[in-house]
Structure 1
Amino acid sequence: MKRTFLILGATLIFMASFTSAPKENEPAVNINGNLAPKIATAQMSGGELLINKSDCIGCHHKINKLIGPSYTDIAKKYPSNDKNIAYLADKIIKGGSGVWGKIPMTPHPKISANDAKLMAKYILSLKK
């Protein structure tokens, strides 16, 4: 058993010696021309990125109702204007209940007002 681990360890060290770390000016990932268009089409808005990084996806979905309403349902209910953006940003930060049912939305006090507004703008942009 010890001999097997010794041989396995020696093999791993030997194989690792053939890999090289990227040079200082060389990117860790080399993006060729074929990948660039795919990456460009996958760009998200600032609000969408913030939503994806937060815990919003645990209760909300872009199209389907989960625990809370879908983003498209929210966009249908509220016209995109400064008043509604401020209202929804406040709801994101402070939480609330009663508008979409009895289950309360948890507050997110660590989200800044500007980030909450970006999130609200993105949600309201989903109106069809």
Structure 2
Amino acid sequence: MAAHAATPEELAKSKNCMACHAIDKKMVGPAYKDVAAKYKGQKGAEDKLVQKVLKGGSGTWGAVPMPPNAVSDAEAHALVKWVLSM
């Protein structure tokens, strides 16, 4: 079993999240800092965003949909916690 030594940022890069997202600027998808600001203090935000990472979603940030992502449940939680920490 592989060790989870990668940082969330390395995980985001390895899973191609950074192809559509950047930390501090809008690309195809919203900047991670904008996501963190939008969901700051919202109850259930982590679980809601984990489901979007796993299943995809559309409409929240415009017309371009986010496809489902090939990440495990644990990876999705790690990525979302990292984004929300910004």
- TM-score, normalised by the number of residues in structure 2: 0.86
Which of 1 and 2 has greater Rg?
1
How far apart are 1:47 and its partner, in Å? Answer: 2.0
> Unpaired runs of 5+ in structure 2?
none
Between the two structures, name the one with larger relative contact order (CA 8 Å, sep ≥ 6): 2
- 1:70-109 pair list within 5 angstroms: 70-79=31-40, 83-108=44-69
Question: When the two structures are aligned, how many residues end up with a matched partner?
Answer: 82
- 1:60-75 pair list within 5 angstroms: 60-75=21-36
Percent of aligned positions with the same letter in both sequences? 37
Q: Give a deviation string over 1:20-72, Cα, whole Å, max 9, x none.
A: xxxxxxxxxxxxxxxxxxxxxxxx97322211211111110000000100000
- TM-score, normalised by the number of residues in structure 1: 0.59
> Unpaired runs of 5+ in structure 1?
1-43
Counterpart for residue 124 of structure 1:
84
Q: Is residue 28 of structure 2 the alignment partner of residue 54 of structure 1?
A: no
